[in-house]
A and B are shown apart, each in its own frame.
Chain A
Amino acid sequence: MPLDATSGLLLEFKSINTYYGDLHVLKDVNYEIRHGEIVSLLGGNACGKSTTMKTIMGVVRPRTGTVIFDGQPIEKLSTSERVRRGIAPVLEARRLFPRMTVFENLEMGAFMRKKGAEFAQDLERVYELFPRVKERRSQVAGTLSGGEQQMVAIGRALMARPRLICMDEPSMGLSPLYVEQVFDIIQTINKQGTSIFMVEQNASMALSIAHRAYVLQTGVVVLSGTAAELREDKNIREAYLGELQVPGAKAEAEAK
Chain B
Amino acid sequence: MTGFDLFVQQTINGLTLGAMYSLLALGFTMVYGILELINFAHFSVFMVGTFVAMGALQSMGIMGQSVILTGLPLVGVLLVALAATMTVCGCIGMGIERFFLRRLRSVKGPAQMITTIGISYILSNSVLLFIGGQGFNFPNPIPMLKYHIGGAVMDVRQPLIWAISAVLMIGLTYFVQSTKLGKAMRATAQDPEAARMMGVDVDRVVLTAFFLGSAMAGAAAVVFGLYYNYTNFYIGFDAGLRAFTAAVLGGIGNVPGAMLGGLLIGIIETMTSQFISTNWAEVVIFSILILVLVFRPAGLLGRVAPNKS
- By a beta-carbon cutoff of 8 Å, the part of chain A in contact with chain B is 57, 59, 78-80, 83-84, 89, 91, 95-100, 104, 107-109, 111-112, 115, 142, 156, 160
Contact = CB atoms under 8 A, between A and B. Distances in A.
A83 B198 contact: yes
B146 interface: no
27 contacts: A59-B196, A78-B201, A79-B197, A84-B199, A91-B193, A91-B194, A95-B193, A95-B194, A97-B187, A97-B191, A97-B194, A97-B195, A98-B306, A100-B186, A100-B187, A100-B190, A107-B183, A108-B184, A108-B195, A108-B200, A109-B198, A111-B180, A111-B184, A111-B199, A112-B198, A160-B198, A160-B199
A142 B306 contact: yes
Contacts of B180: 111, 115
Chain B interface size, as a band, is: 10 to 19
Interface in B173-214: 180, 183-184, 186-187, 190-191, 193-201
The dominant DSSP class at the B interface is: helix
A16 to B, nearest CB: 19
A156 B183 CA distance: 15
B307 interface: yes
Contacts of B184: 108, 111
A59 B187 CA distance: 17
Contacts of B303: 99
B197 A57 contact: yes
B308 to A, nearest CB: 10
Given A98-B307, A107-B183, A80 B199 contact: yes
Contact of B198 (A78, A108, A115, A142): A108
Contacts, number: 64
A100 B194 contact: no
Interface of B: 180, 183-184, 186-187, 190-191, 193-201, 303, 306-307
Nearest to A105: B187
A99 B305 CA distance: 12
Nearest to A159: B198
A57 B194 CA distance: 11
A181 to B, nearest CB: 23
Given A98-B306, A99-B186, A111-B184, A80 B194 contact: no
Contact of B190 (A59, A99, A115): A99
A100 to B, nearest CB: 6
Contacts of A104: 183
B307 to A, nearest CB: 6
Nearest to A94: B194
A97 B197 CA distance: 12
A158 to B, nearest CB: 13
Contact of A111 (B186, B200, B306): B200
Contacts of A80: 196, 199-201
Contacts of A89: 197
A108 B306 CA distance: 20
Contacts of A112: 198-199
B191 A95 contact: yes
Q: Report, nearest first, the 7 A-B pairs whose CB atoms are least far apart.
A: A83-B199, A112-B199, A80-B199, A95-B194, A97-B190, A111-B198, A89-B197
Nearest to A112: B199
